[in-house]
Amino acid sequence: MKIEVFDDKNSFVHLACGILSYFWLFIFIIFIFYEIIEHIYKHKKEKEANFLGDIVEFLFGLGAITLTLKALN
């Protein structure tokens, strides 16, 4: 399965949510529930690769901010 990362305009929102979730945990919880509900709602329209790509974009933002802040300390 080929995962599609940064494939639409919402990709940068997913990235920003990942960055912000480093500071506020509730953003992580909201994002995960949002993605699950969106995937269920768009069951026939959205491929699983797009769903996984959204999660990867989020985790990329979280990883980038974690590495950046740890490097600065």
Q: List pLDDT tens digits, range 4-53.
A: 898 888 899 999 999 999 999 999 999 999 999 998 988 778 788 888 99
Q: Please, are residues 51 and 39 in contact by the beta-carbon 8 Å criterion? A: yes
Q: pTM for the whole thing?
A: 0.89
pLDDT of 58:
97
Q: Please, are residues 35 and 14 in contact by the beta-carbon 8 Å criterion? A: no
What is the band of 69 on the pLDDT scale with cuts at 50, 70, 90? very high
Q: Please, are residues 5 and 18 in contact by the beta-carbon 8 Å criterion? A: no
Q: 72 pLDDT exceeds 80?
A: yes
